[in-house]
Structure 1
Amino acid sequence: MQSGLYEYKIFGGLADCPPKLCVDVYMDLNFRKQWDQYVKELYEKIYDGEKVIYWEVKYPFPLSNRDYVYIRECREMDVDGRKIWVVLAQSVSVPQCPEKPGIIRVKSYKQSLAIESDGKTGSKVYMYYFDNPGGMIPSWLVNWAAKSGVPAFLKDMQKACRNYSKSI
């Protein structure tokens, strides 16, 4: 087993999920609790005038869950006539969100997400993701996340996009 820093770059497509819908689904924390099986707790609060997100992620037994405290921003951009939605997220330290016993706080987290049309009815998705999960993460779990977890997340997100209009 080894511990280290984890960095991912993801390039994928979500067929039949227009970019605006993908962004709406991705940004909707309440809806995410319904479709993301790894969410234990997820909410947004305002501290010192800034929207801060708390997210606890379920890890498989015998590992401890991880939690994140972060800020994020979404912008719609026009790049040479192409509409691109960009979501940036980064961990922050907020005294009002202290660490909880038995849960490992991920103190170093950064994510950049860009979504644009695939030219048809779907979206192209580009994500850069970095975090330091802390503790000892077995290599089998890291390999699973890279090979199976990320594609499964994209499939879950695609399914969530299809069900989103029903949940509003």
Structure 2
Amino acid sequence: MTLQPSILPDEEAFADFRKQCLSGGNWLSKYDKNGIQVWIEVPASSKANHPQKVHKIKCKMTIKDVSAATMYDVLHDGVYRKKWDLAMLESYDIARLSANADVGYYSWHCPHPITNRDVVTLRSWRMMDDEYVIINFSVKHPNFPPRSDTVRAISILTGYLIKPIGPNSCTFIYLSQADPKGSLPKWMVNKASQALAPKVMKSVYKAGQEYPEWKRRNHPDQKPWLNVEQNTMPMMDPRLLSIQRAESLENVDESSKVATLDCEDSS
């Protein structure tokens, strides 16, 4: 197998993500209630005949009773996620790539008649000064090709920036550009993401409120995302992975369309 150049995010990638999270230009407000704000990115220039793409969406929540460190732990704790992420079908880590990066699998339930989705993503994280950053994007893994029972979605870029504003308060920013693939019209995907974003933010916030007590009863000292020596996952050379481009899945989606009524399950 020919090894690809390493695709691990570098410091520039994290700096660029942070800049996007904190920038105010080219973002159109779509929601602003109860401490939650949602924006979509508006391209600096666009052509009328340019095909519509999935929006880049940014959400910000001001949290007054949960620390930044706790919210960071919630996002990392895969065991706890099974308790609060009701959409999740299956989720597991595949391998470590470095001290602060791994590759994993996640699938989620979609409402009937839409086919369930899944992703394989490279996740990397940083604690910079008093900020916490997590980013992920879709990758091709030689042992985890698209499955016949789900549509392989694409995370172009997804991540979180968490900044403390007090000992038990923080700002929580979520930024994502993701394509669920299949035959769903892009306008429908964009509308749905804007509507779902506040609900997802509220769900994560509630998980943060309940995490300290749950963690106190469930291996409180076990945090491999903070303590590398606790991580027992096998190591993998990141050069075995390559970035999963959205266009590379078109043939998979076309075969699904023929079999399942335009890629959406009507059974």
- Displacement of 1:14: 2.2
The structure with more radius of gyration: 2
- Displacement of 1:84: 0.6
Q: Does residue 145 of the first structure (1) align with residue 193 of the second (2)?
A: yes
Match of 1:63?
A: 114
User: What is the aligned counterpart of 2:135 among 77, 85, 88?
Assistant: 88
Whole-Å separation in 2 of the counterparts to 1:47 and 1:86: 18
Which amino acid in structure 2 is aligned with residue 76 of structure 1? M
SS at match of 1:5: coil
SS at match of 1:159: helix
Match of 1:22?
A: 71
For the 8 Å contact 1:11–1:125, the answer to whether it is kept is yes
My pick for the range that moved more, 87-96 or 110-119, is 110-119
Match of 2:126?
A: 75
SS at match of 1:92: strand
For the 8 Å contact 1:106–1:134, the answer to whether it is kept is yes
Whole-Å separation in 2 of the counterparts to 1:67 and 1:31: 19
Q: Does residue 6 of the first structure (1) align with residue 51 of the second (2)?
A: no
> Whose relative contact order is higher, 1 or 2, with alpha carbons under 8 Å and at least 6 apart?
1
Whole-Å separation in 1 of the counterparts to 2:194 and 2:54: 13
The answer for unaligned runs of 5 or more in structure 1 is none
Whole-Å separation in 2 of the counterparts to 1:106 and 1:42: 14
Which amino acid in structure 2 is aligned with residue 146 of structure 1? Q
For the 8 Å contact 2:71–2:208, the answer to whether it is kept is yes
Q: Does residue 32 of the first structure (1) align with residue 78 of the second (2)?
A: no
Which amino acid in structure 1 is aligned with residue 193 of structure 2? A
The TM-score with structure 1 as length reference comes to 0.85
For the 8 Å contact 1:3–1:135, the answer to whether it is kept is no
Q: Which structure has more strand as a fraction of its residues?
A: 1
For the 8 Å contact 2:153–2:180, the answer to whether it is kept is yes
SS at match of 2:56: strand
What does the per-residue CA deviation read over 1:76-128, in whole Å, with 9 as the maximum and x for residues that have no partner?
A: 111xxxx1101111111001112111311123431131101133631101222
The TM-score with structure 2 as length reference comes to 0.55
Q: Does residue 112 of the first structure (1) align with residue 159 of the second (2)?
A: yes
Q: Does residue 167 of the first structure (1) align with residue 218 of the second (2)?
A: no
Runs of 4+ in 1 over 3 A off after TM superposition: 47-50, 138-142
Whole-Å separation in 2 of the counterparts to 1:101 and 1:3: 27
Match of 2:171?
A: 124
For the 8 Å contact 1:74–1:86, the answer to whether it is kept is yes
